[in-house]
């Protein structure tokens, strides 16, 4: 059951974006598994993708199509990742774009394909081709929730958030969806994430924006440390809102729009952790006093990835030496353990590298029984800080992944 995560509400349509969903039977019958995004001409689109060298066929095709620009549609299927499928997988991803482009009257290179699901199985192109007309016919501006539901795999809840703000007296909307619950250590984004705004933003700003949003959100979450073959995060700006174009982020309008987009991105990323496979606790790992933000992240991920730490949190067992051990093996060669400080929320667990004389185990257990917990580590090396979000490991994580293909 997701940790303090509820079904989406108050999702605002984004002018210039229409979404359609269909049941194509890609892997299972009677479930929404094919989604199309239709984008008005002039929409600027940028994306970031997995750093897994075994990237899926649709990721490779998306990179090539984005380099050409002028994207008009996106096609997303669940149930099949089209990864580990070689040249045949590339051909099927390209064919998906050709079929969708033909139905929409646009070039294949103006379509982006996305897939998620089981790896190393042929993409059922015939089912996608048969389902696309229904998905396109279903396209409406207010179908964001339907899309959030249709891109789910092992997710227990759809993930979608929306914000509105005023720019030059004009209402601007930011809405996004994501999916993911396992195989999550994005190293760029999440398994799938789509964020759109009707703000008028110069196209040249979008690639940098997508990277910055990913770094501040999806690149700060981990469920199990596995980087997916299909990670994709897409940012689209339709420029339908009637305000002066944003040509720099160093303006009041630019800052306001970027802040709203970062807020929605963070909510989407954190929702993935809250809905992590079998998760019962949402954990913030904050590392302070580092010589650089990079080494703070190194330590934070060492803690967040540790199965011993994660299972201790599931059991509410304050076996907190496991956290100190993770700090020690994170990879900082000149770490001085006598400067390490450790807190769980308001409980000071360790000081100067050893147990705090005032620490009581019942205080640690009190915090570990909470559904939301903050681990705070002080390195005593400088002024840098950074944080990541993760979850615990429960029995259900093993069950879900052992039975994933059945």
pLDDT tens, 24-83? 999 989 999 999 999 999 999 999 998 888 899 999 999 999 999 899 999 999 999 999
**Residue 136: which residues within 8 A CB-CB, separation 6 or more?**
20, 36, 38, 100, 103, 104
Looking at residue 43, its pLDDT comes to 98
| Global pTM exceeds 0.85 | yes
Domain ranges of the chain: 17-274, 282-402
Q: What is the pLDDT of residues 187-217, one digit of tens each?
A: 534 479 999 999 999 999 999 999 999 999 9
pLDDT at 222: 84
pLDDT of residue 226: 63
Residue 405's pLDDT is what? 58
Active site residues: 190
Cβ atoms within 10 Å of 403's Cβ, excluding its own: 9
What are the b/e assignments for 208-247, b being 16+ CB within 10 Å? Answer: ebbbbbbebbbbbbbbbbebbbbbbbbbbbbbbbebeebe
17-274: CATH topology is 3.60.70
For the chain, list residues with pLDDT below 50. Answer: 184, 188-190
Domain 282-402 part of CATH 3.30.1360.70: no
Cα separation, 245 vs 202, in Å, equals 7
pLDDT at 189: 41
What's the pLDDT score for residue 45? 98
């Amino acid at each position: 059951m997701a940790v303090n995560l509820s079904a989406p509400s108050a999702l605002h349509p984004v002018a210039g974006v229409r979404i359609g969903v269909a049941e194509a039977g890609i892997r299972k019958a009677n479930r929404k598994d094919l989604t199309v995004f239709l984008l008005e001409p002039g929409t600027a689109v940028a994306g970031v993708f997995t750093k897994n060298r075994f990237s899926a066929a649709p990721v490779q095709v998306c990179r090539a199509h984005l380099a050409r620009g002028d994207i008009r549609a996106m096609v997303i299927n669940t149930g099949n990742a089209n990864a580990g499928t070689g040249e045949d997988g590339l051909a099927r991803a390209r064919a998906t774009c050709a079929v969708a482009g033909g139905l929409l009257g646009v070039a294949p290179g103006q379509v982006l394909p996305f897939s998620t699901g089981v790896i190393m199985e042929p993409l059922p192109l015939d089912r996608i081709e048969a389902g696309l007309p229904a998905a396109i016919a279903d396209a409406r501006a207010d179908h964001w929730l339907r899309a959030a539901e249709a891109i789910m795999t092992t997710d227990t809840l759809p993930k979608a958030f929306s914000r509105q703000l005023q720019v030059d007296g004009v209402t601007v909307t930011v809405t996004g969806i994501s999916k993911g619950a396992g195989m999550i250590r994005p190293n760029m984004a999440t398994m799938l994430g789509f964020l759109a705004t009707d703000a008028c933003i110069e196209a040249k700003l979008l690639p940098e924006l997508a990277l910055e949003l990913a770094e501040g959100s999806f690149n700060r979450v981990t469920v199990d440390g596995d980087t997916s073959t299909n990670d994709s995060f897409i940012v689209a700006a339709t420029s339908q809102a009637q305000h002066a174009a944003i040509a720099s982020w160093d303006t009041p309008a630019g800052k306001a729009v970027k802040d709203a987009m970062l807020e929605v991105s963070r909510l989407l990323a954190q929702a993935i952790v809250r809905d992590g496979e079998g998760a019962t606790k949402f954990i913030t790992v904050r590392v302070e006093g580092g010589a650089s933000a990079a080494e703070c992240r190194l330590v934070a991920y060492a803690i967040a990835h540790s199965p011993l730490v994660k299972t201790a949190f599931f059991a509410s067992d304050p076996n907190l030496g496991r956290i100190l051990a993770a700090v020690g093996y994170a990879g900082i060669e000149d770490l001085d353990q006598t400067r390490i400080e450790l807190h769980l929320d308001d409980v000071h667990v360790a000081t100067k590298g050893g147990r705090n004389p005032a620490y009581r185990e019942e205080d640690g257990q009190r915090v570990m029984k909470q559904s939301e917990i903050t681990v705070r580590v002080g390195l005593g090396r400088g002024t840098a800080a950074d944080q990541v979000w993760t979850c615990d490991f429960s029995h259900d994580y093993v069950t879900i992944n052992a039975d994933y293909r059945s």
